[in-house]
Structure 1
Amino acid sequence: MSRTVVNRAMLGMVGAVLLVAGVLVLAGGLDLYRRLGVHPPQWWPLTSPDQPVVSASSRVRWVASAWWWPTVIGGLTVLVAGTVWWLVAQLRRSGLSSIAVPTPGVSGLRLRVGAQALEEALENRTAVLPEVERARVRLVRAPRHPRLRGAVRLRPGGDPAALVEHFEDGPRSDACGSLRLAQLPADLRIRVLQGAPAEPRHGRGRRGRRRRLPRVE
């Protein structure tokens, strides 16, 4: 599951809980139940403006129980740990926002190219290579140089070795020349479809053979 999906799911759940709680508080604070002639159950929270959100009996009901405080402390600890983990996961991004372009012979000038623009250009160049049906390229961090990470899907009968050669002589070579980089390592994951390719509108392709080729250095 990708980070984007996890973030959207978490934000959706938190937003739903806050929305429900806000509607309940608003309905009780504005005395909408009485005005609309609605009679909620006895256990329903905040049915009138004079009623507290949490009643006194509810606040002290379990305080005398031995399991109460360990449960509260443990629950809050898990909540804080989960929040910190989510925050650290957001800060540890594998992608790059931009990449520096060397400017030899020009002092005081710094050039940077947006990573998203570079990724889109590489994807477009890779997608038009022979036998390529779909391509996805990302620019990720590496210890010494930025690294390309690509996933390419070939049509049935496609040749992965030929794709590596075309990628090396085309998109990767052009990127190195444009960015004035001595090298731009790349990891390619290639999938070759079997049989007739599925219609794009159905959003589902047939299973194919996944081949991980040696890194292109």
Structure 2
Amino acid sequence: MSRSTVNRVLLGLAGVLLLAGGALVLAGGLDLYGRLGVRMPHWWPLTSPDQPVLSDASRTRWSGEAWWWPVLFAVLGLTVAGSLWWLFAQVRRSGPGSVPVPVATEGVTLRVRSRALADAVETETVALPEVVRVQARLTGRPKRLLLRAAVRLTPDGDPATAVDHFHAGPLAHARTTLGRDLPTDLRLQVARPPGPRREASRRVV
């Protein structure tokens, strides 16, 4: 699961919980249950404007139990640790922001954004025969780059031919741009409707 997918799932869950909590507080604060004549269960929180979100009984129900405080602090600690992990994961880059490219003029340093180079690889790859979709990104460090590419082919696509075309076209041009070798992890997906997809992975060096 990619980081963007995890972010969407976490944000979606947080949004649902906040929306549900906000609707619950709003309904109780506006006395909607009383106005609509709806009788909620006795354990339902906040059924009227005069009722606190947490009653005294709810706040002190387990405070006398030996397990309550350790469990409470453990849950709070895990929540804080998970939040910090998620925050640092957003800040940390999965690859270099830019990479140097050779130029003929001495004393001049030229750098290109790694995303721009990956976009160029995607644009050239999707134009190859039998290619439906492609995603590419650069990972690693500037001196030890790795190009990761996921290519989806048409149902009649040939993985071996696609690898040859990718090696001779987009990958060769990316290596020429960088002026050095670029190890590549290429993943191919071949759609085989109505049967299951066949997947193949190989490293191009």
TM-score normalized with structure 1 length: 0.75
Contact 1:135 1:150 in 2 (8 A): yes
Instruction: Give runs of aligned pairs for residues 132-151 of structure 1, distance below 5 A.
Output: 132-142=131-141, 144-151=143-150
Q: Unaligned stretches of 5+ in structure 2?
A: none
Does the CA contact (< 8 Å) of 2:96 and 2:140 recur in 1? yes
- Contact 1:101 1:111 (8 Å CA) reproduced: yes
Please give the TM-score of this superposition, normalised by the length of structure 2: 0.79
Which residue does 2:202 correspond to in 1? 212
Shift of 1:66: 1.3
What is the match of residue 51 of structure 2? 51
Deviation of residue 135 (structure 1)? 3.2
Aligned with 1:8: secondary structure? Answer: helix
Residues 1:2 and 2:2 aligned together: yes
1:156-204 CA deviation, whole Å, 9 max, x = no partner?
47252x4444323321232234x443333322234556xxx43xxxxx8
CA contact (8 A) 2:148 2:185 kept: yes
Checking the alignment, whether the CA contact within 8 Å between 1:137 and 1:151 is kept in structure 2 is yes
Q: Distance in 1 between matches of 2:199 and 2:108?
A: 50
- Give 1:119's aligned amino acid: A
Q: How high is the sequence identity, in percent, across the aligned residues?
A: 49
CA contact under 8 A between 2:159 and 2:188: conserved in structure 1? no
**Partner residue in 1 for 2:61:** 61
Deviations 1:107-161 (A, max 9, x none): 677543360x43232123123334545433222223614321122345547252x
How big is the alpha-carbon RMSD for the aligned residues of Structure 1 and Structure 2?
Answer: 3.0
After TM superposition, give the deviation of residue 19 of structure 1 in Å.
1.0
The Cα of 1:22 is off from its aligned counterpart by 0.9
Instruction: Tell me which of 167, 172, 181 is aligned to 2:179.
Output: 181
Q: Please show how residues 163-182 of structure 1 align to structure 2 within 5 Å.
A: 163-177=162-176, 179-182=177-180
**Comparing 165-174 with 184-193, which one deviates more in the overlay?**
184-193
Q: 1:63 Cα shift?
A: 1.2
